[in-house]
Structure 1
């Protein structure tokens, strides 16, 4: 336990490490409510029950500390509490309360204390940093809303817990907290299974309604005995029906998308030049893609893109490394760029001219022939999501529809449910 006076440890231990040790001890010996209050005292009031910690915080605040250094200290202190509560199976509500700590502060008030003004200035900047953004995402994911009534004022943030494929790329970072990683994995598995089950039940429900209607039995009350299963997506029933047909039906009544992908993999195992491979990939990706806008020359645009990718390797024989880099480069162009995380004009054009279902199917086709890039796809989607945090559905109505389509597509192509009945819808 840290004592309440300065001692020689200050000469040998980094000051922030003394704060870390103090918080670890405090969490063990005090209630959650007391711990949250102490966090408030230290990082919003500049005080503490411990004199040494109070003095260290004053030294940090009054020093010419770099902003990023302060962000790191505060961020680490948050994860100390999150880690402790997760490890001891404390109520996840406490983590949500802690992450909301800085939201209830009036940063516009004038304070006579120069130290407190400096502290609040730093904490306000922390609230707008990527560090706090990730902490807020943890709270959003813990506050699970599997089904939600939405309107134009609903924020994209409030829907994050639905999209389990975004959990890892948005939350697992350099902190490397085992308990947090395990929690995110468990939540992802549990919630994905729950959605898949709800989707399967809804598909069965809709299929039975169709069967009864065909048998013309509604007049005899047959439809009333069918157990209703609500639509688990944020799409309308009609939109969901169209989406399921798009992803499941046989192409030209001959071959499923999965069968098409297997055929591509088999045919491209033999020795091919890289240019031949790109040509085959072009035909595979454009197969059965029909732009809703007849003036949008999708095929030409895609070939020009493929032709430009690693063109210096065109005469080389394909190998796993080259094809993997090609798929990753495609996602960079088709979804969002690494160098400019806000640049996704091509994706917007694809959605506008192909429709959401065909755009998602185009991106899914790549994973079907190379499962290794599923993680890359999820990371790109996470980058895209981060561009619209804080926006309302009125601002970006296409965004949530896009994310919903992936929720369905991932369930169909990579989930563990039997959705063969959907073929009858």
Structure 2
């Protein structure tokens, strides 16, 4: 056929794609995002599987992601960092770094849910630490909220993307995500937050004592816990000063950082009143000196007497005399004929804390429930305080158990567990008085000095600077790990 001189064919217009026969009355154009998810096509992560780059270990791939995030969080605006985080972990497309996206593919392709979760957790805490250091708190809230993005549950034909979204969804339903949400709880108003969030400083302790958590998470948890403790100490001191001044404007009451109302002043006076030779600090020093060379069997008997001494609650004393000996007698009995030493003291105090709080690591001990149901929570708090005053390194372990109590009862509404809330308030105040770097003193005022509650004793607080007989109230180490009693033996 002779085509010479024939006109060139007309260029074809853009091809129209219809998923079904077009309806002239109801035709619509699908958004690009819908087309991308409906039409089978490979995601960027799937395409990266064809990469010719040399294979790396999963740890090397993780480090690529961490270095990338650490770089951009220091150089980019928070909104840009959040957008890149979403493109990398949520949408999985159009990342500014092909190397980071390739590294993420390698982590996902390893098909190890735990390694991916570790990657995700550490990535989050890298951003949180850097934003918190520069007091940029809003991006932290937005980061935590990203995991509720609808894209996490969107259907996709990509097998790699499907796996990744499932892992993100599982993370958003996990305890790890609950831990992450603690970092925004402090910005919620009192009407918005759950009652357990008032004790976030204790909920954070298990995070920074768990060596399985990423270093960035432990650092962030430790820093936030300290901020919250310091804030409570300051707010409590300011409330005490202002509530006793009698010079507040009419109708404007000082802000109380506790839920005890005016009862907080009575509680503090009760606790601080134990001064002189029978103060808790002096009793602890006497006990330490008198039991220094005792055999462990005799030490355990003396320990029981020390814990129960001066407790003015006969019912609770009787209960403790019945329950504690059965726990102590067989405890580490292979060391009964050996002198007490620091490692054995620490482990003994930790086991006592277990008996009095959470014995099986999951739910409150029966002794804890009995003690709180039969009397004033101040009694059990004082017993716990006495343990810490003879073994300061056990404090972090105690705070871990307290955090576990809060988490356990946090599943219940506040009106159903007022007794545990009351216990937490008493614990918080008592340990602020005795185990922090603030000294509280009770001073009798002259009769011609009027006080708001007609009580001639006034509470004064001041920072501790001196070293001396009461130096045991200085701040304790962040983490105390139980040493092995014998290098050849495993921990009990």
Q: What interval of TM-score do these two structures reach, taking the shorter chain for normalisation?
A: 0.7 to 0.9
Matching residue of 2:185: 140
What is the distance in 2 between the residues matched to 1:126 and 1:296? 47
Aligned to 2:197: 158
Q: Which runs of 5+ in 1 are unaligned?
A: 210-221
2:424 is aligned with 1:400: no
Are residues 1:336 and 2:374 paired?
no
**Which residue pairs with 2:369 in the alignment?**
348
What SS does structure 1 have at the residue aligned with 2:414? coil
Residue 278 of structure 1 is matched in structure 2 by: 300
The 5 Å alignment of 1:266-305 reads 266-269=289-292, 271-291=293-313, 297-305=319-327
Q: 1 CA distance for matches of 2:319 and 2:409?
A: 29
Task: Please give the alpha-carbon distance, in whole angstroms, between the structure 2 residues aligned to 1:316 and 1:354.
Answer: 37
Q: How far did 1:123 drift?
A: 0.7
Structure 1 pair 232–20 and aligned structure 2 pair: CA distance change class (3 A): closer
How big is the alpha-carbon RMSD for the aligned residues of Structure 1 and Structure 2?
Answer: 3.7
Residues 1:394 and 1:64: Cα distance change in structure 2 (over 3 Å) = farther
Matches within 5 A, 1:10-49: 10-12=54-56, 14=58, 15-49=61-95
Question: Residues 112 and 204 (structure 1 numbering): CA distance in 2 closer, same or farther, change over 3 Å?
Answer: same
Aligned 1:41-190 pairs, distance under 5 A: 41-49=87-95, 50-51=97-98, 53-54=100-101, 57=104, 61=108, 63=109, 65-86=111-132, 89=134, 91-105=136-150, 110-111=155-156, 114-141=159-186, 143=187, 148=190, 155-161=194-200, 163=201, 167-171=204-208, 173-174=210-211, 177=215, 181=219, 188-189=225-226
Work out which of the two has the higher radius of gyration on C-alpha atoms and give 1 or 2: 2
- Which structure would you say has the larger RCO, counting Cα contacts within 8 Å and 6 or more residues apart? 1
Return the alpha-carbon distance in structure 2 between the equivalents of residues 144 and 114 of structure 1: 38
Q: Whose helix fraction is larger, Structure 1's or Structure 2's?
A: 1
Determine if contact 1:83/1:177 at 8 Å carries over to the other structure. Answer: no
CA contact under 8 A between 1:290 and 1:354: conserved in structure 2? no
User: Structure 1 CA distance, aligned partners of 2:254 and 2:353?
Assistant: 36
The SS at the match of 2:442 is helix
Q: Please, which of 223, 241, 250 is the counterpart of residue 274 of structure 2?
A: 250
**Any conservation in 2 of the 1:360–1:405 contact (CA below 8 Å)?**
yes
| More off after superposition, 50-59 vs 63-72 | 50-59
Alignment partners' CA distance in 1, 2:131 and 2:115: 25
The match for 1:199 is 236
Give the Å deviation of 1:237: 1.6
- TM-score (normalised: structure 1): 0.77
